[in-house]
Amino acid sequence: MNFNTQNAKIASITEKTLIVGIDVGSETHYARAFDWRNYEYSKKPLEFSNTEAGFMTFKTWVEDIAEKHGKTAVIPGMEPTGHYWFALGKFLQDNEMKPVHVNPHHVKKSKELDDNNPNKNDRKDPKTIAALVNEGRFSYPYIPTGIYAEIRSLSNLRFQTQEELTRIKNRIARWFAIYFPEYKDVYGDLKAVSGRMVLKIAPLPEDIQKLGVDGVNKIWRDAKLRGAGMKRAKTLVSAAEHNVGSKEAPETARFELKNLLDDMDVYTLRLEELLRKLEEKLKEIPYIDKLMKIKGIGMITVSGFIAEVGDIGRFDKPKQLQKLAGYAIVANDSGKHNGESRISYRGRKRLRYVLYEAAISLVGRNAEFKAIHEYYRTRKENPLKKMQSVVAVACKILRVFYTILTKGVDYDPVKLMGDIKRPQLQAA
């Protein structure tokens, strides 16, 4: 039986069930209690803090109501409001009150039904949430544990570190655009070791001019750097001599670039350390090595996938993963109008991003997926646009990953290509 269908969820709510709607806040939460007929037991919303004492107050309040009205099961419902629900959700789970989530979009659309007023307030929202739970319009949140919790936390840190590193690089690019725009003609990449060596000693073009060609080359010789010599030194000094950038506030400009380069070093090392930790933790997941053997799939893709999906065994079929990623197909039909189908975009945004990046990589580097992409775009019946084809490839990646991780089979390029029904093959 599929316990995730709406009918199954409705069937799980009986006259012995206490439904609790919780409006989650950053510091304070509000709760109201109802039975399966939407009859309210709470005279007024319970206000409790996001602390251990507050959680215990809520637990006692729920137990008192359940005992008074003969309830043997409790279903607490809430919106997944950022990270504020994590602590309360873990407390509820540890105290045998498994929480459920309602869609914030549903709450927003439903809250004005009672009084034709869309205003948000602490009394109204818990009631709306409880009503949605009673209708079976909820989902069971996945709270990873063990190795999956470790990988998700490490992956989140990797994303945050990468974002910070990108911001630093953008600030460095801005600095060069203001003070030394000619630098990009000498070094197209900020990672160039020889360029950064010089900049840490001579940040501004005027400082490089003072060093001269011999001074610049000496920096590299002292560091025993290979691949940089007099020719590159002459090019850099010449660029400094013809600089058209700003010459105002030189002391501040030097200080800013020094800090930015130091920050870049710090976050680069931090990112490398996180990747090493992720690689080590991934070894504990069965059949991960089989995913890594697919050409075009790397550790970043695999770690991002596991971080968002968690234990693959909790899914019965690949379509559930597709829905989780927000890649479920939504039809746009009405009467005689047949509109263009689209994806729902209602799912884990980061999982969708990981799969999209993987699809781009595979289309560019993997012969089988490149052929599939080309087939989707050129087939006679229902040819796809470029972006539609990329999404279709992403969904195929989901199915491939699911099959490998659940069955432990090796990646089979022949079988993958066999899934494409080509007219010429059918004719043969």
For range 180-194, the mean pLDDT: 90
- The answer to whether residue 425 scores a pLDDT higher than 60 is no
Give the amino acid at 200.
K
Query: What ranges do the domains of the chain cover?
Result: 6-134, 149-280, 288-427
For range 38-63, the mean pLDDT: 94
pLDDT of residue 428: 37
pLDDT of residue 1: 39
Angle ∠(299,300,303) on CA atoms, nearest 5? 80
pLDDT of residue 340: 56
Confidence of residue 50 (pLDDT cuts 50, 70, 90): very high
The CATH number given to 6-134 is: 3.30.420.40
The percent helix, strand, coil of the chain (3-state, each to 5) is 60, 10, 35
- Asked if residues 303 and 326 have their Cβ atoms less than 8 Å apart, the reply is no
Q: How far apart are CA 187 and CA 198, in angstroms?
A: 12
Lowest-confidence segment of 143-152, 183-192, 273-282 by average pLDDT: 183-192
What residues contact 247, with CB distance under 8 A and at least 6 apart? 206
Confidence of residue 118 (pLDDT cuts 50, 70, 90): low
Give the amino acid at 22.
I
DSSP 278-313: HHHHHTTSTTHHHHHTSTT--HHHHHHHHHHH--GG
Question: Given 1.10.3720.10, 1.10.287.4070, 3.40.50.11810, 3.90.650.10, which CATH number is that of 149-280?
Answer: 1.10.287.4070
What sign for the dihedral angle of Cα 156, 162, 166, 171?
positive
Q: What is residue 52's three-state secondary structure?
A: helix
- Asked if residues 108 and 100 have their Cβ atoms less than 8 Å apart, the reply is no
- With left for phi above 0 and alpha for psi between -120 and 50, is residue 116 left, alpha or beta? left
**Domain 149-280 in the same topology as domain 6-134:** no
Question: What dihedral do alpha carbons 243, 245, 247, 249 form, nearest 10°?
Answer: -140
Answer whether 0.95 is exceeded by the pTM: no
DSSP 319-348: HHHHHHTT--EE--EETTEE---EE---S-
pLDDT of residue 163: 96
Q: How many CB atoms lie within 10 A of CB 424?
A: 6
pLDDT of residue 146: 93
For range 414-422, the mean pLDDT: 74
Summarised one tens digit per residue, pLDDT across range 311-350 is 999 999 999 999 889 887 654 444 444 445 566 667 788 9
Q: Minimal CA–CA distance to 306: which of 316, 292, 319?
A: 292
- Asked if residues 278 and 158 have their Cβ atoms less than 8 Å apart, the reply is yes
For range 272-286, the mean pLDDT: 96
Cα distances from 195 to residues 186, 202, 214, 243, in angstroms, run: 9, 10, 15, 16
For range 39-48, the mean pLDDT: 92
